[in-house]
Every structure is written in C-alpha cells, then in structure tokens.
Amino acid sequence: MRRSRFDLAAAALAFAAFASMAAVPAHATVITEREPPSAVLWLLVIGVAALSWVMACRRWWLPLAIWLPTALFVSSLVADFADPVIGPAVREELGIAYIFQADLVGALVLVMPLMFANIRFTRKG
C-alpha cells in the first residue's frame, strides 16, 4: 500500500512539473536569462527528492548534507526576487506565476531532505 502512495505522489509531482513548464517569452532580456526556467526548478525538486530518499535509505542523517547547498540556492533565488531592481523586472517579464512556482519549489526543496531524514530517524528509534 505504501508503494502505491509513493507512486501516486511521484506521478502527481511529475504532472505538476510538466504542466508548469512555461516557455520563456520571445522578448527575453538579461534578467529573464539570469533566472532558471520553471522546468529546471521542478526537475530540481524531483532530483532532490530522489537523492534524499536514496541517501536516507543508507543513513538517516545523510539527507541533511543536501540541505545546506539547497538552502543556499533557494536563498540566492529569493534574494533576486527581493532585490529592488531585479524583483520588479522578473515580475514584469516572467509574471507572478513564475515567482509563485519558484517559492513553491524553494519550500519543497528545503523540506524534502528534512522530511526523509525524519522518516528514517523515527523508524530507527
């Protein structure tokens, strides 16, 4: 039963990633080219989830090693949105939906390693 829930969650995540792949507008500028496409962000979520799961199967604390680099990446992404020059340019060129997706991806990427570490830790204890 657990395997089918995991398969369902993976299918839902894959559907969300492919459904949100918005093409970069034709009038892309330097600001737009600086930000990662939404498809890359969703592939990052899938990659971090898979890597966290594999690492958690080995040792419960190994997914915590992924957390720091992903936290630094998310903080740099959010810092761009908070910048008084870059933030409005991104909102104007890519739209508020891109910022929402980037924030959602950031939250998922930060929570996934902690979630898998917690699941494995509670099973061991």
Name the amino acid, one letter, at 26: A
Q: Which two three-digit tokens encode residue 11? A: 């299918």
CB atoms within 10 A of CB 11: 10
- Report the C-alpha gap between 53 and 48 in whole angstroms: 8
pTM score, whole prediction: 0.73
- Split at pLDDT 50, 70, 90, the class of 125 is low
In angstroms, the CA 70 to CA 112 distance is: 10
Give the per-residue pLDDT at 96. Answer: 94
